[in-house]
Structure 1
Amino acid sequence: MLLLLAAPVLARMYSPADFGAFAVLGTLATTLGAVASGRFELAVPLPERDQEAHDLVAVGLLAALGTALAGTAVLMVARGEIAALFNQPALSSWLWLTPWTAAAIAAVQVLNQLAIRYQRYPAIGRRNFFQAGATLLTQIGAGLMGLRVGGLALGLGVGQTVGALSLLPGMRRRSGDGKPETRHRSLWRTALKHRRFPLLLAPSGLLNVLGLQLPVLLIAYYYGSAVAGWFGFTQRVLAIPVGLLGLAVAQVYLAELSRAARTGGGQAAALFLQVSRQLGMVAAPGALLIAFAVPPAFTRVFGAEWSTSGTYVQALAVFTAAQLVGSSLSQTLIVFGRQGLQLAWDVGRLLLVAAAVMITARSGGSALAAVWAFGLSAASAYGASWLLSYHVVTSARGQESSHKSEQAPPALADSR
């Protein structure tokens, strides 16, 4: 809600070109942040021992720090070339923020997973509030100081850092009596035990975030910074309801699904269908509202220079609804150990949305046509994600029932 209330203020403080530069910086930071922790955070809710979960948190934070240092070294050599790639020389002065913002994003993800494990939902709510508040205060303050290009990116970095710091108290909750001198060995053993996460899910996570972020870079490349700004601002506004509801549901769903998978009893499939139905009841009318009611309000709320963003809203209405449902349930494949299937879906979505935008641009299509191509292709990909998750969770229920039948006495098995 804070983001929604502040959007008209930011729209009048920053131009579409400023938002275009922020779209590039934010996309680079988000993409790198998705894999900066080695994806070890996805394993945090799964171990039975709390000590192992805390070791995974430590490994993820160390990986994020290493990523930030390595990214800084790369930028010292290739900062100018990266800025020139998008025809925005002004970016070179702010690219240094990218690896450290990525590290902060990764830290939030790692610590948030620990909070999910302990079902510390009030702490997650406070983190959301502090993170959004710090982001907006920094962006508004930077705008007042005249930091047009980097002010939005600076706010993103500060907000993520504040969000991570707000979750740090949860690190004190530990079990076990590991000796200090064996701590590094424990971390190493934990990293080796869960090596499938960086080996399979790091590429998958990179492809996953590129499936949403690469079109921003492609639109900036083909249509310029102003169009990228309109597109990025539209995504920012539409991401508010998805973040407000979808992220909260996804975090609770992950905790409950992980527990259902550990305890068995066939509850996972019922939980998946229940959450799908509830999200669908919100997503369907939400898509109609976005398509017909939101576009006329864009010019009145955000100003005349954002009228183009109003037309982009209609192109992304179906995608927003599909994302609300699909992304909230996407952890299903991870919980049931289907990392390979998740990787295949990530590859497919990336190829689909990138091809949709590139073919439209290279064939002479307008920027609006490219946005429509992205929205429809991404919505189709989320539909496929739901079908894959449904197949996996129902297959797991069938295997569990079959196993119980094999273990039951013959008379009981016959009666079933």
Structure 2
Amino acid sequence: MGQWPTRTPTGAPPPDATPRRRRRRRLGGSLRGVLSIAAGSASGQLLLVLAAPVLARLYGPADFGLFAVLATLAATVGAVAAGRFELAVPLPELDREAHDLALVGLVAALGTALVGTVVVAVARDEIAALFDHPALGTWLWLTPWTAAAMAAVQVLNQLAIRYRRYAAIGRRNFLQSVATLLTQLGVGAIGLRSGGLALGLGAGHLVGALSLLPGARLRTADPPPEQPRRRMWRVAVRHRRFPLLLAPAGLLNVLGLQLPVLLIAYYYGAEVAGWFGLAQRMLAMPVALIGTAIAQVYLAELSQAARTGGGNAAALFLRTSRHLGMIAAAGVLLIGFGAPWAFAIAFGHEWTTSGAYAQALAVYVAAQFVGSPVSQTLIVFGRQNLQLAWDAGRALLVGAAVAGTALSGASALAAVWAFGLSAAVAYGASWLLSLYVVTRARRHAPPANAEPEPLTLTGGR
């Protein structure tokens, strides 16, 4: 027999008995999760920003140039090192299948590191000669292992998201930044400067991965239904679309951001790459922090609007774009007028060129700040085909702009301007694509009194 619901002495139902209060508790938990993640990220990024002047005096432009090449190669490989299986970890209903996916991703990352080590052992001199930087050959072995650590962080982070371990994610963000900074400062202080920045990057991601292991629940008390290797193979085959379809898309996406760094290092040398790398690093930190927070709120609200038919999505898109545009306009003015002066004071006169490069990147950073958060519109409304086409187009556009400028004999500053303007055009196109999709969704939205159709995220016309 069923039981009557318990009541308080006043006759009111207990706090957990009403759906409204249960929803309020879930909302409160989500808000605390976002705040935990944001607090860890903000604290870590603030430490890196504050320590940047010290690092700029410990390491020279050539050291930053070597770091830019190594970090770019590691980020490119790391984006696909786990086979993109990490994206599938939150999806399965059964925890065991999610654990198997995480193990498959970790094994793929280890395999990528081993294969990369063999490639580096065979071709490191040729790669160093390609960028005309002899020290690159000495430190190139870091690339595959840093990429594997990056992939491990992605896999374990997705597992933490599955179990709503938001505090652990925030703690990982902070510990990763602290480990990176302490290693870079310590190695630089003892005089091992050519690869110190790259060592710090690898150490930071290793600490980040290790910090997520406690509570990852990779082992369960239930007896496995079959041999682990066979089980992992079966789950990898079942989710094969992730490495087959999403790995190329992820590679295109990261190349659109990282390819210009490699091209500038190739055509203009390590010192120019160092100036360019510091300018990118200082502009990216605050933009990524603010943009990520806005993007999370926009994604939540847009998903809700899409589930109810998409009628309010266009208004949300335009309102968010307007707010982002106001902040971006202020940033353009600040960077455009104050970057060279600010870089010279903060980092020393040898870094004044970085300030000039920051000026050249100001329009691009503003366009990215507006276009990147609202680009999630394409995914929410199932237009992954447009997203993939845009990723490919951006990589081709910025690569051709930098390479064409360099081959014409123009200066490094002209190449940075070419990258900045071409990337700004790409993000402008992304914004227009999102506007088209969200406007089309509004035209096809059901009447206010109609029953909303379920949202489909896997397709689109």
Determine the structure 1 residue equivalent to 2:139.
94
Shift of 1:23: 0.9
Q: Are the aligned partners of 1:108 and 1:160 in contact in 2 as well (CA < 8 Å)? A: yes
Is 1:358–2:371 an aligned residue pair?
no
The amino acid across from 1:164 in the alignment is A
Is 1:19–2:39 an aligned residue pair?
no
Corresponding residue pairs, total: 407
Q: Which moved more, 1:292-301 or 1:278-287?
A: 278-287
Is 1:318–2:359 an aligned residue pair?
no
Is 1:74–2:124 an aligned residue pair?
no
What SS class does the counterpart of residue 132 from structure 1 fall into?
A: helix
Shift of 1:202: 1.1
What SS class does the counterpart of residue 169 from structure 1 fall into?
A: coil
Q: TM-score, normalised by structure 2?
A: 0.79
Determine the structure 2 residue equivalent to 1:126.
171
Q: Are the aligned partners of 2:173 and 2:208 in contact in 1 as well (CA < 8 Å)? A: yes
Shift of 1:99: 0.4
Determine the structure 1 residue equivalent to 2:52.
7
What SS class does the counterpart of residue 401 from structure 1 fall into?
A: coil
Deviations 1:25-57 (A, max 9, x none): 111111111111112233344555555444433
Q: Are the aligned partners of 2:85 and 2:102 in contact in 1 as well (CA < 8 Å)? A: yes
Determine the structure 2 residue equivalent to 1:413.
none
The whole-number CA distance in structure 1 between the counterparts of 2:321 and 2:94 is 30
Shift of 1:147: 1.3
If each structure's helix is expressed as a fraction of its own residues, which one has the higher value? 1
Deviations 1:335-369 (A, max 9, x none): 55544332211111011001111111111211111
Deviations 1:104-147 (A, max 9, x none): 11122223333444554433322221111111100011101111
Determine the structure 2 residue equivalent to 1:112.
157
- 1:267-346 to 2 correspondences below 5 Å: 275-334=320-379, 336-346=381-391
What SS class does the counterpart of residue 172 from structure 1 fall into?
A: coil
CA spacing shift, 1:369–1:90, aligned 2, 3 Å:
same
CA spacing shift, 1:181–1:390, aligned 2, 3 Å:
farther
The amino acid across from 1:132 in the alignment is S
The amino acid across from 1:357 in the alignment is V
The whole-number CA distance in structure 1 between the counterparts of 2:100 and 2:316 is 29
- 1:370-409 to 2 correspondences below 5 Å: 370-393=415-438, 395=440, 401=446
Q: Are the aligned partners of 1:326 and 1:386 in contact in 2 as well (CA < 8 Å)? A: yes
The whole-number CA distance in structure 2 between the counterparts of 1:389 and 1:307 is 37
What SS class does the counterpart of residue 320 from structure 1 fall into?
A: helix
- 1:56-67 to 2 correspondences below 5 Å: 56-67=101-112
The whole-number CA distance in structure 2 between the counterparts of 1:99 and 1:130 is 22
Q: Are the aligned partners of 2:339 and 2:356 in contact in 1 as well (CA < 8 Å)? A: no
Q: Are the aligned partners of 2:302 and 2:316 in contact in 1 as well (CA < 8 Å)? A: no
Q: Are the aligned partners of 2:85 and 2:243 in contact in 1 as well (CA < 8 Å)? A: yes
- State the identity %: 72
CA spacing shift, 1:77–1:290, aligned 2, 3 Å:
same
The whole-number CA distance in structure 1 between the counterparts of 2:165 and 2:291 is 17
Q: Which moved more, 1:183-192 or 1:278-287?
A: 183-192
Q: Are the aligned partners of 1:11 and 1:302 in contact in 2 as well (CA < 8 Å)? A: yes
Q: Are the aligned partners of 1:80 and 1:92 in contact in 2 as well (CA < 8 Å)? A: yes
Compare CA radii of gyration and give the structure with the larger one.
2
The amino acid across from 2:242 in the alignment is F
CA spacing shift, 1:148–1:327, aligned 2, 3 Å:
same
Q: Which moved more, 1:291-300 or 1:335-344?
A: 335-344
Determine the structure 1 residue equivalent to 2:83.
38
The whole-number CA distance in structure 1 between the counterparts of 2:302 and 2:229 is 28
Note the aligned Cα RMSD (angstroms).
3.1
Q: Are the aligned partners of 1:296 and 1:310 in contact in 2 as well (CA < 8 Å)? A: yes
CA spacing shift, 1:54–1:225, aligned 2, 3 Å:
same
CA spacing shift, 1:383–1:262, aligned 2, 3 Å:
closer
Deviations 1:64-113 (A, max 9, x none): 11111111111121111111111111111111110010011112222333
The whole-number CA distance in structure 1 between the counterparts of 2:159 and 2:274 is 35
The whole-number CA distance in structure 2 between the counterparts of 1:149 and 1:407 is 59
The one of 173, 196, 218 aligned to 1:151: 196
The whole-number CA distance in structure 2 between the counterparts of 1:247 and 1:110 is 19
Is 1:221–2:266 an aligned residue pair?
yes
Q: Which moved more, 1:114-123 or 1:337-346?
A: 114-123
The whole-number CA distance in structure 1 between the counterparts of 2:340 and 2:305 is 42
Shift of 1:329: 4.0
CA spacing shift, 1:334–1:38, aligned 2, 3 Å:
farther
Determine the structure 2 residue equivalent to 1:414.
none
CA spacing shift, 1:287–1:359, aligned 2, 3 Å:
same
Q: Which moved more, 1:6-15 or 1:213-222?
A: 213-222
Q: TM-score, normalised by structure 1?
A: 0.87
Uncovered stretches (5+) of structure 2, i.e. residues with no partner: 1-45, 454-461
What SS class does the counterpart of residue 194 from structure 2 fall into?
A: coil
Q: Which moved more, 1:160-169 or 1:393-402?
A: 393-402
CA spacing shift, 1:366–1:103, aligned 2, 3 Å:
same
The one of 199, 202, 206 aligned to 2:247: 202
The whole-number CA distance in structure 2 between the counterparts of 1:407 and 1:156 is 47
Uncovered stretches (5+) of structure 1, i.e. residues with no partner: 409-416
Deviations 1:270-305 (A, max 9, x none): 765565444334323222222223331110110010
Q: Are the aligned partners of 1:114 and 1:170 in contact in 2 as well (CA < 8 Å)? A: no
CA spacing shift, 1:386–1:337, aligned 2, 3 Å:
same
What SS class does the counterpart of residue 213 from structure 2 fall into?
A: helix
CA spacing shift, 1:50–1:219, aligned 2, 3 Å:
same
The whole-number CA distance in structure 1 between the counterparts of 2:162 and 2:313 is 17
What SS class does the counterpart of residue 50 from structure 2 fall into?
A: helix
Determine the structure 2 residue equivalent to 1:160.
205
CA spacing shift, 1:388–1:129, aligned 2, 3 Å:
same
The whole-number CA distance in structure 1 between the counterparts of 2:123 and 2:148 is 19
The whole-number CA distance in structure 2 between the counterparts of 1:78 and 1:97 is 14
Shift of 1:173: 8.6
Q: Are the aligned partners of 1:50 and 1:175 in contact in 2 as well (CA < 8 Å)? A: no
Shift of 1:182: 5.6
The whole-number CA distance in structure 2 between the counterparts of 1:166 and 1:252 is 27
